[in-house]
Amino acid sequence: MTVRINARLDKKLADQVEALRRRTGKTLTQVIEESLRLYCQSQGTGEVADGLAGFVGCADGPEDLSVQYKAEFGRGLDRKA
User: What is the DSSP code string of 6-72?
Assistant: -----HHHHHHHHHHHHHHT--HHHHHHHHHHHHHHHTT-SPPPGGGTTTTT-----TTHHHHHHHH
Confidence of residue 60 (pLDDT cuts 50, 70, 90): confident
pTM of the full predicted structure? 0.51
Distance CA 42, CA 4 (A): 23
Average pLDDT across the chain, whole number: 83
Q: Check pLDDT > 90 for residue 41.
A: no
Query: Amino acid identity, residue 56?
Result: V
Mean pLDDT of 41-50: 66
3-state secondary structure of 77: helix
Q: Which pLDDT score is estimated for 47? A: 58
- Domains of the chain, by residue range, sit at 7-52
